Homo-oligomer: A and B are copies of this chain.
Amino acid sequence: MSPYNAVGMSKWDLDTPALCVDLDVVARNIKRIADTCKEAGVRWRPHTKGMKIPAVAHMLIDAGAVGITCAKLGEAEVMAAGGIKNILIANEIVGPVKIERLVNLLRYADVMVAVDSEENVAMLDAMARAKGQTLKVVVEVNIGIDRAGVEPGQPVVEMARKVLKYPNIQLKGVMGWEGPTRAKYDTDEERRLHITEGVELITGSAELARREGVPIEMVICGGTATYRYTCFIPGVTDVKAGGGVWGDHYYNDRFHVPHEMAMTCMSSVASRPTPTRVVTDAGRKTMDFLIQEPKPLGCGEVTHVHPSAEHGQFDLVEPNVKPGLGDKVEWSVGYTDPTVCMHDEIYGIRDGRVEVVWPIVGRGKSR
């Protein structure tokens, strides 16, 4: 059956596994981030690596986002083809094949990319010049995630100054991710302090550059786990929080993000070998179980939730004949980002019925 035939069906009648989002809940989560950004006076560039659906990107822009953020060039190509004009690729793009694709994309969208080495900037500049384009870049700042990026402070100023030498490259600002500051703390105030300390390494690098005459227009940071603090830190101009649009146990339980959980996965009970053991057809090729465990809903108290490749199973604390063989079990998703990219489509649900089926067209666009 084409998944599109499902429009109008109850979510409980969907063949399983089926990844669903409650559209009213998504709308409230979108409004929550958009309102916070408006209140703080920062631009919202939501990251779409955990959505991968141009239709959702358009919803974000309709709600006030200035554009979107992508992780991969292939995702940006999909979004541009879907009509999204303003795209930040929050990673370095390297190698002749990808650099040519990136510069070609400028004919269809206003794309900005991260840089952290002069070698890369020189290659981007040469390709942009050859094609009569100007490419906007932001310098990535490493504030403790120890992945890509230059160290904060003077190294950022030096890197930004190097960028200014290249005629077909336009320096727009700096970008960082305060991920390492988002860990669990006992109080809201501790989280605010720690996140502020991290973000100030980025805003401080921007200030230092400005004092040395290097123009820094944008200071881009902030994810779902941090935006409610990061938005209000002076000097931050753009916030990338996007994953919170779905809401999940990863953000809620680990980082106290007060979003509603919009995403669930419908499964079927494939085996009921004992009065306490329930085996469903949604395993770790359907949902992430390893980073954050999903939770079966409506089955009472459960224990020993665990997956194999093709099955997700759990034990009921109280022996029961329900859920019976073939019954549907709905799971709230543990971590949406690594779950969405395992599916071909998402069912958009309103009032329990399928309103829209979105192909996850960015899925697998890892190049």
Q: What residues make up the interface of A, taking CB atoms closer than 8 Å to B?
A: 1, 15-18, 49, 71-72, 91-98, 116-117, 119-120, 123, 142, 145-150, 268-273, 277, 279, 281-282, 284-286, 290-291, 308-311, 313, 324-326, 337-338, 341-344, 364, 366-367
Contact = CB atoms under 8 A, between A and B. Distances in A.
Contacts of A94: 268-270, 281, 325-326
Interface majority SS (helix, strand, loop, mixed), chain A: loop
Given A91-B310, A97-B15, A142 B338 contact: no
Nearest to A310: B71
B277 A146 contact: yes
This chain's copy number in the assembly: 2
A127 to B, nearest CB: 13
A249 to B, nearest CB: 17
A197 to B, nearest CB: 21
Contacts of A120: 325-326
A285 B92 contact: no
A273 B148 contact: yes
A208 B149 CA distance: 66
A273 B311 contact: no
Contact of A309 (B95, B117, B277, B337): B337
Nearest to A311: B147
29 contacts: A1-B97, A15-B95, A15-B98, A16-B367, A17-B366, A49-B310, A72-B281, A91-B270, A91-B281, A92-B271, A94-B270, A119-B324, A119-B325, A123-B326, A145-B308, A146-B277, A147-B279, A147-B311, A148-B270, A148-B311, A149-B271, A285-B338, A290-B290, A290-B291, A309-B337, A342-B342, A342-B364, A342-B366, A344-B364
Given A92-B271, A95-B326, A342-B342, 11 more contacts: A71-B309, A71-B310, A95-B268, A98-B268, A116-B271, A117-B271, A146-B277, A281-B366, A282-B366, A285-B366, A343-B364
A49 B96 CA distance: 35
